[in-house]
Amino acid sequence: ECGRSFRSLTGLGAHQRFGSHGRPPEAKAKAKAKEEKKGFECPECGRAFLSAAALAAHQRWHARRALNPQGRPFPCEQCGKVFTSLTFYHKHQRSVHSEEA
C-alpha cells in the first residue's frame, strides 16, 4: 500500500489506525478541511498554521536555526556551561559574566 515497513506488527497496526492510509474517507475529508483553514503559511518551509501567533513562534524556530544551523547547543566559552537556546545563553552572559554581576 504505502511502501513503509515496520519492525513489528504493533507499529504497522498503529500506522494503519493513525496514518492517513487507515482513515475512513470522512476522517480524511475532515483533516483536509482543517488543513485548508490554516491560513498562515511559513514563507520559509511552507508549513501552515491556524493563527499568526503560531506562525510567529514557528518563525522564531527558523531564526534560532539560522543562528545555530547545526542545531548544536550554545556553550559558554568562559565557564563551559551549555545552553539549548541563544536566549538562555545571553541571559547567562548578562547575569553571570557581565561587569555589573
pLDDT digit of tens for each residue in the chain (101 aa)? 677 788 888 888 777 776 655 566 677 777 777 767 778 888 888 888 888 999 999 998 888 777 666 666 788 889 988 887 788 889 999 999 988 65
Q: pTM of the entire structure? A: 0.38
Q: Which residue is it, cell 547545526?
A: 70
Q: Which is nearest to 86 in space by CA: 62, 58, 67? A: 67
Q: Which residue is it, cell 507499529?
A: 11
